[in-house]
Amino acid sequence: MSRTGLFISFEGIDGAGKSSHISEVADAFRAQGRCVLLTREPGGTPLAEKLRALLLADAMDPLTEALLAFAGRRDHLVQVIEPALARGDVVLCDRFTDATFAYQGAGRGFDCGPLAVLERMVQTGVAPDPMRLREPDLTVWFDLPPEVAAERLSHARLPDRFESQPLEFFRRVAQGYADRAAGAPQRFARIDANQERGVVWQQLQAVLVARGWGPGAAAAHEGAA
């Protein structure tokens, strides 16, 4: 019997710790016998990775940022995400469209109206139903106070153009994520990321169980201990 593909995105401000948990979620699904694709945005294809390098390094205005992000997203959807979902794979994506609304919309102060137009243009016509807006089946939002995230980033690698933004920028981004979550409560699952790593994983595991995807999650985590 063929399986239905599953699309999960992971969101949060820089320093929230989301990336460190994605591999654990991948292991949980693999323990259930699922094929898993790990990918990221910006990026995910050779073209989108080139656009990512520009976004993270070169100065540009918010509209240019948004256009590059959505250009890479379209290529990512067409070349990678949609084929994987058609195969029945689990796609785990480190950031997706919510990040554009949070960073370019709320963070940069760019009008979300044009972003919604770009979202509709880029994310339709790729699924089997041509009218369907391709969105994640689940978005896991790692919610962390910007002050805590800033402290974590201060011990990290040399920051990129976004990571080096002032604290007030990340406060706006965090609010942008909160607004997106409020607008799509059926899709979002909030994780309190201001906890020890093990507690954060327990929250993630509970989300998977609540969605009916969790039988292999505990076994995978115990096996990795």
Q: Which residues are annotated as a binding site for ATP?
A: 12-19
Question: How far is residue 218's CA from residue 220's CA, in Å, rounded to a whole number?
Answer: 5
Question: How far is residue 169's CA from residue 68's CA, in Å, rounded to a whole number?
Answer: 20
> What is the layout of strands, in order, in the sheet containing 36-40?
36-40, 90-94, 6-11, 138-143, 188-192
Output b/e per residue, 186-221; b: 16+ Cβ within 10 A.
ebbbbbebbeeeeebbebbbebbeeeebbebbeebb
Q: Which two tokens stand for residue 26?
A: 């991948």
| Backbone angle region of 93, left / alpha / beta, with phi > 0 → left and psi within -120 to 50 → alpha | beta
From the annotation, which residues make up the binding site? 12-19
Are residues 93 and 123 in contact, defined by beta-carbon separation less than 8 angstroms?
no
Helices 112-123 and 62-76 pack at an angle, to 10 degrees, of: 20
